[in-house]
Structure 1
Amino acid sequence: MLLSEELWIEAFEKMLLIRRFEEKCAQFYGMGKISGFCHLYIGQEAVAVSAYLSKSSQDTMITAYRDHGHALVCGMDPGIVLAELMGKVTGSSKGKGGSMHIFDIDKGFYGGHGIVGACVSLGTGIAFAHKYKQDGGMSYTFFGDGAANQGQTFESFNMAKLWNLPVLYIIENNGYAMGTSVERSTGMTDLYKRGESLGIEGMRVDGMKIDVLYEAFCELSHKVRNDNCPYLLEAETYRYKGHSMSDPGFYRSKEEVAQYKESDPIAYAKEKILEMGIKTESQLKEIEKSIKDRIKAAVDFAENSEFPNILNLREDVFTKKIC
């Protein structure tokens, strides 16, 4: 399925929102306003955005610790996400979760998860819930190339196939598991074939081109629903920043990063929009200004929010709600 003119604009807006948000996070981390772990999504924006554009309202999304982009694309308020990163009480987890644990169940986003590979098992469980409830939904389960080597990933694949669960596994292959390249950590680098021994078909796609990704997501999500079984998509993408904010990235050259930036997903979308005459340069600048205003509003909200009271530390550990 091809992107409509409306979806091209929505994709551009969402990718740009993620990019500007992450740039602000990098700035705030350097200023000491964000502490702890912080993994930026700069360069990978097209993957989460194209997945979101292909999903239905009853579908769910879950990912690993590089989760800011997925949270924003699902419709979470940037101010609430930034407040969580800053440890403020107005954050999505009242300042107790931080960068790696952004959640909004009401928007179908089951969060980021700090344990490598954990989101694969949880996403498989969510797919089981979709099937059990017969709600017509499917689970979009994101994870990285490093998590593809985890034992629980294969166990999850096996159960998903055995029980024919509605799950689309998305490997965001950005080339490096922390500082180790795929070539150095993986005997067979065709990650989209990881499920073949269990009967799970896969596809590899360019993870920097929003239209190519969208077409792939539409095709595989259709197969998941109609074939009643899991599928796997490997998106070849790239992160411009280090693994986390504390990573100087000495394991790759400046030339390598510069080469990938030539295929920047936002620049690609902008070029296509102008080429097709969907918007003019001045109209796109207006969109960019509106995104800048949203980031400013998010900053104002987060900075003016209070920190949690230490007396509330033990609250929200357990819940009475049974899903």
Structure 2
Amino acid sequence: MTVADIQPHMQSSSEIVTAWDRMVARRRLYTLIGLAILLFAFVSSVRFADESNAGHFFERLPHLFDFLSWLIPKDWNDVWRALFDIASVNDAGGEEYNFARGRVYVWRDFYVPEYFELMIVTINIAILSTIIAFVFALPLSFLAARNFAPSGALRIGVKRLMEFLRAFPEIVIAGLFSAILSIGPVAAIIAVTLHTIGALGKLFYEVIENADMKSDDGMKAVGANWFERVRFAALPQVLPNLMSYVLLRLEVNVRASTIIGAVGGGGIGEELKLSISRGFGAKTVALVLLLFITIVAVDQLSAWIRRKLVGDHAFLLQH
């Protein structure tokens, strides 16, 4: 076949440009149609929500910041007093400025500020829940991984179990166990642990399924059993990434433990809910400030630990 035989079948440059412009115009049309459908759905949803709302959303919109104005402290120095349980000059015997009464005395005159103690409880809930979840999620993830599961039926069953555990938000599980076990940190620990097992299990088995199987082939060749293959072939390879996910989940659990406090899970969340509902401006700002500082500190600490586990080279851009 010569070049002359091929040329009649080749499109000219003008035909290629025309086809390209036609395709681009079609894609733009489809995009505009999709955006129009989304806009229509959004407007319809907002109108339906506005009509279903007893107060009517758009009519109440000008009052959006009224509630926030109630939480502005009259004396900004009371924020620091509330944070460190220092007596306020505005204390007239009510609950809004009774900062010094919340002190948690440790020994004689030495005390831990109330909000710091509550924050420690919240962090303890997150840490304990994450550790327990890691202990259970690790073996379950190997049973759910396609390349290490002893049988297909077991793998499917374990996957469905982990999906069930993470299907319900922590606050829903905490509300259920609070009704059974009464209000306190125990319900929060159970709720966060169950959800974390399902979440970590999924992340873990995805890492395991992408592991290099050459070392596993070597273990099989020397007659190693399933436990020996997991312990000596897979675990050393995937453990740094698994620990990275554990630390990431710890950050999430600190936030989750705070939210769970709103349904009686103990910790700083419960006090924050009460403070907001009663309109105690100084206490609310102090709690939000402490929570923000704690979240930033946990994020930075976990990022530093992940770098030490995974290695700085994993965070460098490869050119």
Greater per-residue strand proportion: 1
TM range (shorter): under 0.3
Higher RCO structure (Cα 8 Å, ≥6 apart):
1
Bigger Cα Rg: 2
